[in-house]
Chains A and B, each alone.
Chain A
Amino acid sequence: MSFVVAAYAAIWIFFITYFSVIMRKTSAARKALAAVSPGAVPMGQGAKPSGLTGSSDQG
């Protein structure tokens, strides 16, 4: 019986962990996007979006 418990525990731990990690990364990416896009810079126009911080904004 312990093998069955271990197998189903492994399945649910993998599913929940993967789901949580991806949701957290999505949330972080969307927050960063929201911080970048208040200037409503259309993509491909070559204009600098406002709100970027960090080294990527230094150039």
Chain B
Amino acid sequence: MFDFVRKYLDLAVKLLMVGVLVAAPVSMYMIIGFAPLEAVMGAPQKIFYYHVPIAMLSYLGLFICFAGSAAYLYSGQEEYDSIALSGAEVGTLFVTLVMITGMLWARPSWGAYWTWDPRLTTSLVLWLIYSGYLLLRSQVEDSTLRAKYAAVMGIVGFVDVPIVHYSVQLWTRGIHPVVDKTGADHGMDPRMLKTLMACFPTIALIFVLLFLVRLRYEFAHRSLERLKAQSKG
């Protein structure tokens, strides 16, 4: 399976780069020129169009880490460890962006960059868990031990993802709004909804592109490390 992945990684990266170069200007145009100004929040509401897709795809990155970690512990194949690491790194980047864009949206909307709202607090905990995951990987010398420790942390750390997602419902005293309503009662202007629907695939393409380039690097890096180890032996 991994031979097939390695074979088509370069082609997939090239196609995704073209996709991002087409989709990104379209989504930015829709945010700036197509989506209307929101009546209460005004311009800062436009942060919403990238903030929400980035948040959803950060969950995907961390789920990839969880699944890769479980597969590594089950099979012992180091490619699964590469997948887990790539998912965690891109997922952590996305969580970082969610927090930065969230703070930049909160300041004009709530009057403060940060409040100890349940969604914000659990997101900070999530960021700390996966920053710890990446730190752990950099501190263990032995590659097998590193992969095992990281896999355990990748599985346990994922517990926080549903807590972040459902924190708005679990702790109702928070001020973060529920933004994932679907169906007829989403209460959103059709132009806003179209803009959000244009931004989702753009961010998804960027996510897959970053994940695949990270995975491709990890494969190359590990091949090099193996050859160096062989030359030493």
Contacts and interface: CB of A to CB of B under 8 A. Distances in A.
Interface of A: 1, 3-4, 6-8, 10-11, 14-15, 18-19, 22-23, 25-26, 29-30, 32-33, 36-37, 41, 43, 46-49, 52, 56-57, 59
B227 A33 contact: yes
Interface in B192-206: 206
Contacts of A1: 43
Given A26-B216, A37-B227, A52-B231, A3 B44 contact: yes
Contacts, number: 92
Contact of B210 (A18, A33, A52): A18
From DSSP, what is the main secondary structure of chain A's interface residues? helix
A7 B50 contact: yes
A11 B102 CA distance: 12
Contact of A7 (B47, B216, B223): B47
Interface stretch (B103-111, B122-130, B132-140): B103-111
Contacts of A32: 224
A25 B223 CA distance: 14
5 contacts: A4-B104, A7-B105, A33-B220, A41-B230, A59-B231
A30 to B, nearest CB: 5
Interface string B199-229: 0000000100110011011001101101110
B101 interface: yes
B78 to A, nearest CB: 13
Given A3-B44, A4-B43, A43 B220 contact: no
